[in-house]
């Protein structure tokens, strides 16, 4: 299943869930109404000594009142819970007792976890998510939480990082990244909010009955409203339980299927099923299993890697049983966990020897040859690629992407890697990325920086400039993605100041280069969501025809990028015939006109217009985003070649639309038709 199909499936499940949830609410309202009317009819009948008829239960004003009260209670509770959860994954992790792992940690288990998450994130084409450790949880479990890849966090039990080896940990992390790509996180958060409303009815029923019982103990006087009061409390409790029953059943059935899908995606990611399977086998062996003791664990049970309840497997289980789940990964597994420790040791030794042999082969080659394996020589200018490869790569990383990201992290200069691990110094990395190579422009930007920051910040930024100058172009986006985890540790006040400086550095020379546009939009868009300066997106556009102007402007910008290479200037419209043909073909792919339509001409554009276009495209459905990205991929690969500048632009735009693209510059290259000479 590709990225966009997974997103579409998630939307269909959401619609089905909404329908069932609405049916449950209707059932609750009707049930509560009948109980209320029975109580009133019962009292009326006891006074008149006459048997009530069916017409006695038909009271539209009362039905309207009962409906309104139930909707206010259920809807209000759900609304406030969803508003509370708008803080995103960090809020959920904190509720569970999670502690943010600092990029500078010296704990070897935490360091290994961060390394795995960094490799997975860069391989996937998303910014490195913050990682939280649940230090009070000795069981083996994990979760991913957030609304989009841009604001996701990874949470891991302390027992997970202490009991699993690197391969097993990589399998668990890959599983959680699969939830990020498959669009499961948003649905998970929606489930929490919806269930909260139904649970409130049961809670109110409990308090009503509790208050009734206390009242009966205080006085033996007859109370004419006692029966009605009692029936109302029982009705709220019973129907609250019934609603919760069906909601939990829906949650469990959807969650179990998503776990199988995430397992399959994780294996595709790592190409090593024994890692994920080994983690599940350790859960079966461990005394604590996958247990999570936090009081909030029930609320987010469907978000965990494995069931948070030890030894429970029933109708409401949010996860498949361990044995069938493992057997999908290891067909020879017979359900006996006891012998895994011995097998695990042998597998670990074999994997270690394989890694040593691989490292020896790399050490025997010079650095240029290693780099050329990962990034062919033509990458510095152009290389052949099929647009289908670009589209297939979205949200579908594989082991070659992981190896490539590991190689990139290893090759980043130590000074930059070290600075990227701390929020304060990571700011300096971002500043250094933006400061231009032109000496006069650089001096102007440094003076601007000095007007905002203290001497220590300016000094570190200037020192980092020397390393940035020698940094290959292919490292720029990965470095930008790498520093975002550290930047997310800034305080809200520090981030607002950082954001202001970034914007002013970009505008310092009164023109915007391609990379400056990429940095400003890509970097700030992600961090804006983490600091709650941007709300989670809500789909408003379901047809490309609603966004024709945005398609035209953005594809015109891609056309300009193809011609001008590294610099985009406002209102610059290239007039090369090949670019016009590429643009027309892209518009045809997007569903507007045809490749020979002479009316489909490139449009003049400005950078601020592109910002507005991106904001509107972000509110489009997955299908519309797919159409746009397919058109953009067709345009930039029209001549069967693509530059790394175009790749950066495509990746940044795609990721800002929550469609993460791996570092596809190598490893996924395919030879297409040769360019005509």
Of 27, 39, 61, 25, the residue nearest 200 (C-alpha): 25
Contacts of residue 421, Cβ cutoff 8 Å, sequence gap at least 6: 103, 104, 486
541: left (phi over 0), alpha (psi -120 to 50) or beta: beta
Structure tokens at 484: 């975002």
Query: Cβ(116)–Cβ(175) under 8 Å?
Result: no
Six-digit token string for 464? 């980092």
Query: Could you give the CA distance from residue 181 to residue 197 in angstroms, rounded to a whole number?
Result: 28
CB 453 within 8 A of CB 505: no
Q: Which residue, 589, 524, 596, is CA-closest to 558?
A: 589
Q: Where are the alpha helices (DSSP H) in 320-438?
A: 322-327, 340-363, 367-374, 387-393, 399-411, 414-419, 423-434
Token digits for 119?
């490799």
DSSP string, 112-177: HHHHHHHHHHHHHTSPPPPEEEETT--S--EEEESSSGGG-EEEEEHHHHHH--HHHHHHHHHHHH
Active site residues: 176
Measure Cα distances from 155 to 110, 280, 305 in Å: 12, 17, 10
Rounded to an integer, what distance in angstroms lies between the CA atom of residue 521 and that of residue 256?
A: 37
Query: Could you tell me if 239 and 201 are in contact, meaning their C-beta atoms sit under 8 angstroms apart?
Result: yes
Q: What would the two tokens of residue 443 be?
A: 């001096």
Judge contact between 441 and 509, C-beta under 8 A: yes
Q: How many whole angstroms separate alpha carbon 129 and alpha carbon 149?
A: 8
Burial of 449 from C-beta contacts in 10 A (0-12 / 13-18 / 19+): buried
Cα-based distances in Å from 386 to 139, 268, 326, 674? 45, 22, 37, 12
- Cα angle vertex 145, ends 401, 158, to 5°? 85
């Amino acid at each position: 299943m590709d990225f966009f199909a997974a997103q579409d499936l998630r939307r269909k499940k959401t619609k089905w869930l909404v329908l069932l949830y609405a049916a449950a609410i209707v059932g609750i309202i009707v049930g509560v109404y009948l109980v209320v009317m029975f109580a009133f009819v019962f009292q009326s009948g006891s006074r008149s000594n006459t048997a009530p008829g069916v017409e006695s239960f038909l009271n539209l004003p009362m039905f309207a009142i009962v409906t309104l009260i139930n909707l206010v209670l259920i809807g209000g509770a759900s609304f406030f819970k969803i508003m509370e959860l708008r803080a995103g994954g960090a809020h959920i992790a904190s509720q569970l007792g999670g502690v943010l792992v600092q990029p500078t940690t010296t704990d070897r288990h935490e360091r290994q976890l961060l390394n795995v998450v960094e490799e997975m994130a860069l391989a996937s084409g998303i910014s490195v998510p913050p990682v939280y450790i649940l230090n009070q949880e000795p069981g083996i479990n994990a979760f991913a939480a957030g609304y989009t890849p841009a604001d996701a966090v990874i949470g891991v039990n302390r027992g997970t990082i202490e009991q699993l080896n690197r391969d097993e940990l990589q399998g668990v992390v890959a599983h959680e990244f699969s939830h990020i790509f498959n669009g499961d996180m948003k649905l998970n958060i929606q489930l929490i909010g919806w269930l909260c409303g139904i649970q409130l009815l049961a809670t109110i029923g409990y308090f009503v009955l509790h208050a009734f019982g206390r009242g009966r103990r205080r006085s033996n006087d007859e109370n004419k409203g006692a029966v009605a009061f009692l029936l109302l409390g029982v009705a709220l409790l019973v129907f609250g339980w019934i609603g919760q029953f069906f909601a939990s059943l829906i949650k469990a059935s959807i969650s179990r299927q998503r776990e199988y899908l995430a397992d399959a995606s994780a294996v595709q990611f790592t190409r090593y099923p024994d890692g994920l399977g080994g983690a599940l086998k350790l859960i079966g062996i461990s005394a604590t299993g996958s247990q999570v003791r936090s009081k909030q664990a029930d609320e987010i049970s469907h978000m965990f890697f494995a069931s948070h309840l030890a030894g429970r497997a029933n109708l409401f289980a949010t996860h498949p049983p361990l044995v069938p789940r493992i057997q999908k990964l290891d067909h020879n597994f017979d359900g006996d966990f006891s012998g895994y420790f011995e097998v695990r040791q042998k597998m670990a030794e074999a994997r270690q020897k394989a890694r040593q042999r691989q490292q020896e082969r790399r050490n025997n080659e010079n650095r240029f040859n290693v780099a050329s394996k990962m990034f062919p020589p033509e990458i510095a200018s152009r290389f052949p690629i099929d647009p289908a490869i670009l589209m297939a790569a979205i949200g579908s990383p594989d082991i070659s992407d992981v190896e490539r990201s590991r190689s990139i992290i290893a090759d980043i200069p130590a000074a930059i890697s070290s600075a990227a691990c701390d929020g304060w110094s990571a700011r300096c990395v971002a500043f250094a990325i933006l400061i231009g190579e032109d000496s006069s422009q650089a001096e102007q930007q440094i003076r601007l920086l000095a007007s905002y920051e203290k001497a220590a910040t300016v000094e570190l930024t200037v020192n980092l400039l020397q390393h940035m100058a020698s940094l290959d172009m292919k490292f720029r986006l990965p470095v930008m993605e790498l520093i975002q985890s550290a930047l997310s540790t800034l305080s809200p006040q520090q981030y607002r100041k950082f954001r202001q400086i970034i914007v002013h550095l970009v505008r310092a020379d009164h023109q915007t280069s391609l990379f400056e546009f990429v940095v400003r939009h890509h970097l700030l868009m992600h961090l804006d969501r983490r600091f709650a300066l941007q709300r989670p997106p809500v789909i408003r556009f379901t047809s490309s025809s609603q966004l024709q102007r945005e398609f035209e402007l953005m594809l015109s910008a891609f056309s300009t990028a193809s011609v001008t290479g590294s610099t985009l200037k406002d209102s610059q419209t290239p007039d090369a015939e090949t670019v016009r043909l590429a643009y027309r073909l892209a518009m045809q792919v997007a569903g507007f006109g045809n490749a020979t339509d002479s009316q489909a001409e490139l449009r003049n554009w400005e950078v601020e217009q592109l910002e507005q276009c991106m904001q509107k495209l972000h509110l489009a459905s997955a299908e519309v985003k797919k159409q746009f990205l397919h058109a953009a991929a067709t345009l930039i690969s029209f001549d069967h070649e693509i530059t790394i500048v175009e790749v950066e632009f495509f990746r940044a735009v795609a990721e800002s639309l929550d469609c993460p693209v791996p570092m596809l510059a190598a490893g996924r290259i395919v030879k297409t038709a040769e360019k005509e000479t």
